[in-house]
């Protein structure tokens, strides 16, 4: 399974872009592990489009931040995140689609109507769309889909 789509002779710009994106994904994991919704939300665009594992669609950085503050203070409190980038595909030099295998470990509670996984791990496939604006990579779309198969 490839972790990115660029070849070893990629341009220095593309290699730098991939490195910046990987750093943001790593920072998201660290922020989650420390329960910091603000740090987790730091790199989202003002008008980010967010679909969570419950099928809820939220628009805007403020709503994204508030939702992550809520979940990290309630049913995901004390959990840890493991993210493996499956692929980074540059659609244009300034737009990248990033596919991430995502796991949240230590889950002991879920919202009403949602089963707690028997092993305490929520598994999802996450797609983030990154865009470079003024030399900074930001997340314009964040689409998280639960894995419901074994």
pLDDT tens-digit series, residues 69-104: 999 999 999 999 999 999 999 999 999 999 999 999
Q: What is the pLDDT of residues 48-65, one digit of tens each?
A: 999 999 899 999 999 999
Give pLDDT, residue 113: 82
Cβ(95)–Cβ(130) below 8 Å: yes
Give pLDDT, residue 148: 77
pTM over 0.85: yes
Give pLDDT, residue 128: 98
Burial annotation 76-109 (CB, 10 A radius, 16+ → b, else e) = beebebebebbebebeeeeebebbbebbbeebee
Q: Report which of 40, 44, 132, 124 is spatially closest to residue 88, judged by C-alpha positions.
A: 132
Per-domain boundaries in the chain: 12-145
User: What is the residue-averaged pLDDT of the chain?
Assistant: 92
Give pLDDT, residue 2: 44
The CATH topology of domain 12-145 is Nuclear Transport Factor 2; Chain: A, (3.10.450)
- How many residues are present in the chain? 150
């Amino acid at each position: 399974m490839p972790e990115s789509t660029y070849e070893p002779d990629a341009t220095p710009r593309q290699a730098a872009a991939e490195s910046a994106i990987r750093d943001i994904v790593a920072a998201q994991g660290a922020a989650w592990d420390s329960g910091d919704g603000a740090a987790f939300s730091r790199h989202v665009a003002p008008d980010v489009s967010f679909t969570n594992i419950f099928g809820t669609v939220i628009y805007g950085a403020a709503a994204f931040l508030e939702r992550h503050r809520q979940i990290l203070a309630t049913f995901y409190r004390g959990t840890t995140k493991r993210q493996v980038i499956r692929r980074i595909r540059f659609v244009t030099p300034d737009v990248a689609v990033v596919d991430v295998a995502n796991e949240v470990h230590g889950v002991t509670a879920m919202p009403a109507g949602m089963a707690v996984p028997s092993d305490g791990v929520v598994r999802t496939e996450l797609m983030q769309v990154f865009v470079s604006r003024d030399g900074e990579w930001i997340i314009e779309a964040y689409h998280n889909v639960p894995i419901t198969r074994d």
